[in-house]
């Protein structure tokens, strides 16, 4: 969950909250307005122009996970629809040096489009430079190599609607506690613009939209393994908390452990990103009120589509966002499909 501090701070400053017509929204690293992913669609004419050209693509990921599997599925389906072969798929294991090696390996296969999440902005800027110089269309997931210029060095950044993820988390927690009460706020204590924006959007929404809800306890977290310890301390000082926001699902599991250890079945929890143990607690009527997720499959589809549009010489939006969705016990099966395009875990479905 880490990135280079200097660039991350700049990204955060540019992207936190951009007021437009009385509301806030996610904006790009250089202040770009967001284009909905639903606007990035290959037309029948585009598909015809791509067919039979022998174009190739590569997916160079930073790690492997259910999320990345869903992003890959969306990308693979879109490339297949256009008759484009995916010739390389890699997993860098969160190792920037491995990612650079993966890029070199991929380029030897001659891809026309590369989709990737750059692990380190500075290292990645050098690593992807050969691809830029050989006119490969680059589409990035969430992160951007340092000093890269849209339309010259890359086709687009595609990410979640980060503000909406935080806002929806605030809305679902507010509903769960009846629109009033005291809540705790556990945020990501590191310069990482994805989590920073989501966290800040939650806090801003509570402070501006819910005057009868007060954030009375705040705790930063950088190591998810410390979540239970930190949540236990928060609950010791604030035993009557009505709700807790947790920055993402892994530390939320530790928060649930702290609540169970305290015999607390009343405090409601909301977090971001789908997780089997968090969803299990939710469908069993436990502390978890809801989970806010991104549409990972749609992220991959949009990345492939924008890369192919660039390959056709079309103008592409610099910054594309996919929708957020709130998953509750009532829609967990549908939410899993909408986000990841696969069934929810059997344990979750069986517990409904």
pLDDT, tens digit, for every residue of 235-274?
999 999 999 999 999 999 999 999 999 999 999 999 999 9
Q: How far apart are CA 163 and CA 197, in angstroms?
A: 6
CATH for 162-295+327-350? 3.40.50.2300
CATH for 5-159+296-322? 3.40.50.2300
pLDDT confidence of residue 285: 97
Sign of CA dihedral 300, 289, 218, 213: positive
Phi, psi of 37 (to 5 degrees): -60, -25
pTM: 0.86
CB 196 within 8 A of CB 14: no
pLDDT confidence of residue 121: 86
| Paired tokens of 69 | 């599997």
pLDDT confidence of residue 24: 62
> Alpha carbon of 312 to those of 39, 107, 208, 257, 288: distances in Å?
17, 20, 44, 52, 46
Any idea which residue has 């605030």 for tokens?
A: 170
pLDDT digits (tens, 9 = 90+) for 288-312: 999 999 999 999 999 999 999 999 9
Please count the residues of the chain: 352
Gyration radius from the chain CA atoms = 21
pLDDT confidence of residue 190: 86
Q: How far apart are CA 80 and CA 229, in angstroms?
A: 47
pLDDT confidence of residue 1: 35
Pairing mode, strands 113-116 and 56-61: parallel
- Which of 150, 107, 148, 112 minimizes the C-alpha distance to 130? 107
Q: How far apart are CA 61 and CA 99, in angstroms?
A: 8
- Could you say which residues of the chain have pLDDT below 50? 1-23
| Paired tokens of 1 | 């969950």
Angle between helical axes of 296-311 and 66-81 (0-180°, round to 10): 40
Q: How far apart are CA 126 and CA 113, in angstroms?
A: 18
Same topology, domains 5-159+296-322 and 162-295+327-350? Answer is yes
Domain definitions of the chain by residue range: 5-159+296-322, 162-295+327-350
> Torsion angle, CA of 14/195/17/140, rounded to 10 degrees?
50
pLDDT, the chain, mean: 92
């Amino acid at each position: 969950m880490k990135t280079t501090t200097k660039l991350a701070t700049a990204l955060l400053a540019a992207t936190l909250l951009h007021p437009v017509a009385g509301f806030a929204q996610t904006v790009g690293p250089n202040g770009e307005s967001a284009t909905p992913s639903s606007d990035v669609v290959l037309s029948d004419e585009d598909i015809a122009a791509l067919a039979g050209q022998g174009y190739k693509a590569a997916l160079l990921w930073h790690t492997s996970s259910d999320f990345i599997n869903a992003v890959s599925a969306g990308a693979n389906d879109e490339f297949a629809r256009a008759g484009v072969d995916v010739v390389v798929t890699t997993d860098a294991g969160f190792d920037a040096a491995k990612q650079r090696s993966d890029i070199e390996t991929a380029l030897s296969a001659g891809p026309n489009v590369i989709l990737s999440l750059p692990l380190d902005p500075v290292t990645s800027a050098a690593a992807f430079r050969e691809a830029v110089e050989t006119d490969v269309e680059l589409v990035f997931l969430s992160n951007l190599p340092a000093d890269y210029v849209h339309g010259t060095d890359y086709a687009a950044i595609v990410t979640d609607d980060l503000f909406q993820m935080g806002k929806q988390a605030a809305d679902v927690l507010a509903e769960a506690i009846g629109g009033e009460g005291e809540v705790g706020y556990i945020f990501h204590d590191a310069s990482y613009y994805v989590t920073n924006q989501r966290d800040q959007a939650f806090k801003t929404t509570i402070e501006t939209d819910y005057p009868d809800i007060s954030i009375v306890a705040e705790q930063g977290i950088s190591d998810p393994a410390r979540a239970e310890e930190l949540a236990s301390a928060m609950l010791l000082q604030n035993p009557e908390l009505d709700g807790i926001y947790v920055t993402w699902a892994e530390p939320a599991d530790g928060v649930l452990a702290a609540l169970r250890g305290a015999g607390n079945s009343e405090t409601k929890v909301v977090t971001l990103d789908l997780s089997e143990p968090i969803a299990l607690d939710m469908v069993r009527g436990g502390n978890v009120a809801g989970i806010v997720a991104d549409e990972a499959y749609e992220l991959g589809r949009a990345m492939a589509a924008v890369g192919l549009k660039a390959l056709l010489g079309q103008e592409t939006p610099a910054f594309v966002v996919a929708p957020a969705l709130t998953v509750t016990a009532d829609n967990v099966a549908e939410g899993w499909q909408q986000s990841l395009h696969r069934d929810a875990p059997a344990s979750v479905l069986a517990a409904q």
